[in-house]
Structure 1
């Protein structure tokens, strides 16, 4: 878009009333009136999007449908990608990121490249920063997984996680986060969700997801609620295969739908589709990402969602079972998706969608519907008037003391005591500990700092602490079980492993293997904090269920 027209839109209030460089009269001859104070911001953003689209070519509109994988660590390595495809966004991975200043410079340079092309539309710069096990950033506070947040039973903890994350992202020029997860983890053997879920009770899961989405929006970051229609009851990873969720429509409505319905009612920024089949919703065999019945029929028409719909990554095997990559992109748009994430062959996918628009397979009205949603969200979240990130200040911003304190606060609130035979916890002052298993070094260091000397063997200690969560839990517990020393397990993954460990004297669930969660476990063992977390899932075979937990 010519800069004169863009400035006119900003100065009339269609994008941002009172923007720098405006002189009060609206300038530039824009015919769009300033919205009144009572005007719906969403409606104002939609009107601004319609104005912005007027100067876009079909190729530029098609480009907005794509979020491509960023290349390298410098803007220059992405120049050709942006010039050829005019993407609506790019997504970062660890290989793109080396440090705070570098990330800020990369973000600024990519936005400059996008501004220089065609309509000059700013980019969504996105990342998977759920926290816990899915956290791509090499900098900033590392907060616990979603299941730990669910164990706090406090939506304010969800808002703390999202607000802290948003503060880090904005300092780095990142404006979109593919989080939170709204899947209800009802299958203990789920290989891909697990502790990424807030729990197995749909009510609290929805409450937490909406709290995170609101905090992200308040922090100026677009959130993406995922994975509709629900990935929590699968035993197949959609990265490597196509899961089939075999349940009735009624079961789905009771177990998986509620968090997404709540997200729709809250008006969340974006919702991500899942590459899975739910025959009760669509018996065609197509994954939800390619199902018009699921996206346009259920999500749009039945639930009334008119926000942005993005696919999960199109390089995942769950969506590549029956169609070529170009056809997958076209079918996703026809099903109702607005943005196409990470097609494995960017050039082929962009070409396929352009051809589908040219021959009428995708109508221009259908294309415009998606582009309008994309641009409206960019307007609403301030991308058109965003200040560049400050590389010099980025490091201090992401390492702020309040971020570290927030991470520890969430972790402390999540620790759940599920077994405490004979009152083995908390430790007496000065009691010795032997620590082994997952996270032993960090747990041991924290206990030592709290005044509990480390013993070289379980036999020589007052307490044996065993960390689990890395798949070798039973073996690690068995290694100390015969020592005669009381054994306390610190479960750092999903707490379902308690059913497989046999008799142990104590079990603390942290639901996360990040440093602050291990520190929180040590603090609970030492009695520095009282375990206040409560189970957010049922644990088959133990008699323990949602809401259970002990205290001191």
Structure 2
């Protein structure tokens, strides 16, 4: 086993890790695995090395490369049996696995060592959901605002800054894959699962941000995963708990949801994730897109010409578990065209089902090889075979560095959008007394005091009341809090820290700021805009139904 690993390292060490992204292939990707990602095929050396590795793998090892399992515990040895038994293609981290940078770097090294000594010695994709904002699994490090805040800057460089900084921290921890960016176009204000995770409701804006972020991840050595194809931005059901149906025409889907994914394919992105949504205009079977050959092999591979790695969304989500048992779900995902199966609820059951389907001929062996070849080629292209171990000391010094925190603050400052300023209540005057309540009150108050404003203990003592909201559109208690604050003659300024749609459900305040995020840098940015330390420059990345506010709106001082 160790010898096979050594041979793999020798062969891969002669390769250069490609970060080039080409245009889309004119021809659809076939199951022979020979088509390109975008217009850039794997180099001959990469393709040949992948073929050599594939030829040396057992059937069980090949099937293992299709699976990405959750990590157990905080030490590599906690996962030894899993790796030795199933030879997974990847593992995914969650907060319970992560305590500090040194521990994570050590854990990553140990997991890769276990993989090197197991089976064919194929290195692991070590992944994480680190979109930033509300979806950030690392309990430490630089914390950027949500994607919608990035959309409000209107600057693809802000998306690249987020991705490049995040990737630098992940790489220091030995994490080589991030399940980001989100390419969904959030056109449904009631969307319970995407919302601020989307760059906005404008297909062109989202289509600009997605490849900028994906390319920055790749350049920093982290595999990006563009999600959730064919689009989760127009749903009112959370696919974690149910199965959303996106009931729109094919033409509307092509106009609204498709552009960001088309741009991702044309940019040659490494990996695309499917959505557990039903799209009747593409597939009338009622199956979620994750299990739909029409969606994956038909549209994504055949029509768009994508031949990169396709991963499912997590298979433990209820959106994909409505009509089949867990083993059958894994088999159907492979038959639909998926290359990696993320987080099956029972790895043993799913692995056995796929293995049996191959042995019985239900899954063609060439079909299996095509997926494994794509996975191996990507691991070779991104340098996983010759990657140096993570340095725990470097991880400690890099993750959450002052430079990275400054980058996050600068992006947050540029995102804040001023939508109301009646009577020029903002910026707050030099000697203004301010009472802060609601979401983020502690962080906003601290930032205001640092900027020389007096924060009072009650609204009656204040010249201005600042009310923080987060999801007030669906929260009567928050709505009542804003209404109560405005019952006196004291001006009220709302700082909306979720989606900007709160404005439709609250009593008209004198001032209204949208930060699109509740992370600390966004709350600090709100205080900096409230005081005039930062001139608001963010612009709405969404239309707000029921108002005259739309894309591009935003006031300044």
Bucket of the pairwise TM-score, normalised by the shorter protein: over 0.9
Q: Which one scores higher on RCO, CA 8 angstroms, separation ≥ 6?
A: 2
Counterpart contact for 1:15–1:384, Cα < 8 Å: no
1:48 and 2:49 correspond: yes
- Work out whether 1:369 is the aligned partner of 2:374: no
Q: 1:497-536 alignment to 2 at 5 Å?
A: 497-536=502-541
1:191-230 equivalences in 2 (<5 Å): 191-230=192-231
Partner of 1:469: 470
Give the TM-score, by structure 2 length: 0.94
Aligned to 2:543: 538
Residue by residue over 1:156-190, the C-alpha shift from the partner in whole angstroms, topping out at 9 and shown as x without a partner, is 00000000100110010000000000000000000
Alignment of 1:116-195 (within 5 A): 116-195=117-196
Counterpart-to-counterpart distance in 1, 2:311 and 2:43: 19
Q: Find the aligned partners of 2:17 and 2:318 in 1 and give their Cα distance.
A: 42
RMSD of equivalent CA atoms:
1.3
The answer for the alignment partner of 1:486 in structure 2 is: 491
Q: Which residue matches 1:10?
A: 12
User: Partners of 1:7 and 1:533 in 2: how far apart?
Assistant: 48
| Cα displacement (A) at 1:49 | 1.2
Tell me, yes or no, if structure 1 residue 60 matches structure 2 residue 61: yes
Separation (CA, whole Å) in 1 of partners of 2:491 and 2:7: 73
Shift of 1:118: 1.1
Query: Residues 83-102 of structure 1 correspond to what in structure 2 (within 5 A)?
Result: 83-102=84-103
1:476 Cα offset (Å): 2.0
Q: How far 1:14 sits from its partner (Å)?
A: 4.4
SS at match of 2:165: helix
* Residue correspondences, number: 530
**Aligned 8 A contact 2:5 2:116 in 1:** no
How many Å apart are 1:206 and its aligned residue? 1.2
How has the CA–CA distance of structure 1 residues 424 and 4 changed in structure 2, closer, same or farther, with 3 Å as cutoff?
A: closer
Secondary structure of 1:168's counterpart equals: helix
Report if aligned partners of 1:14, 1:48 keep a CA contact under 8 Å in 2. Answer: no
Q: How does 1:288-367 map to 2 (within 5 A)?
A: 288-367=289-368
1:475 CA drift (Å): 2.2
Residue 42 of structure 1: CA displacement? Answer: 4.5
Partner of 2:33: none
Q: Which blocks of at least 5 consecutive residues in structure 2 are unaligned?
A: 19-39
Give distance in 1, aligned partners of 2:191 and 2:545: 14
State the match for 2:77 in structure 1: 76
> Secondary structure of the residue that 2:543 maps to in structure 1?
coil
Shift of 1:430: 1.9
- Please list the CA deviations of residues 415-452 of structure 1 after superposition, one character each: whole Å capped at 9, or x if unmatched: 00000001110011121100000000000110011010
Residue 27 (structure 2) aligns with: none
Q: In the alignment, is the contact (CA less than 8 A) between 1:15 and 1:48 conserved in 2?
A: no
- Asked whether the 8 Å contact 1:14–1:47 carries over to 2, the reply is no
1:460, distance to aligned residue in structure 2 (A): 1.4
Q: Distance in 2 between matches of 1:442 and 1:48?
A: 53
Kept after mapping to 2: 8 A contact 1:10/1:16: no
Shift in CA distance, 62/249, structure 1 to aligned 2, threshold 3 Å:
same
Instruction: Verify: 1:250 aligned to 2:255, yes or no.
Output: no
Q: Which runs of 5+ in 1 are unaligned?
A: 18-38
Deviations 1:437-484 (Å, cap 9, x if unpaired)? Answer: 000000011001101001121121111000000544312212311131
Q: Deviations over 1:295-352 (max 9, x none)?
A: 0000000000000000000000000000000000000000000000000010000000
Q: Is the 8 A contact 1:474 1:500 kept in 2?
A: yes
250-259 vs 396-405, which moves further = 396-405
**Partner-residue secondary structure (3-state), 2:265:** helix
What TM-score does the superposition give when structure 1 sets the normalisation length? Answer: 0.94
Deviation at residue 8 of structure 1 after TM alignment: 4.0
Give me the whole-angstrom Cα distance separating, in 2, the residues matched to 1:16 and 1:415: 38
* C-alpha distance in structure 2 between counterparts of 1:95 and 1:500, whole Å: 37
1:27 match: none
Deviations 1:492-526 (A, max 9, x none): 00001101112110000000000000000000000
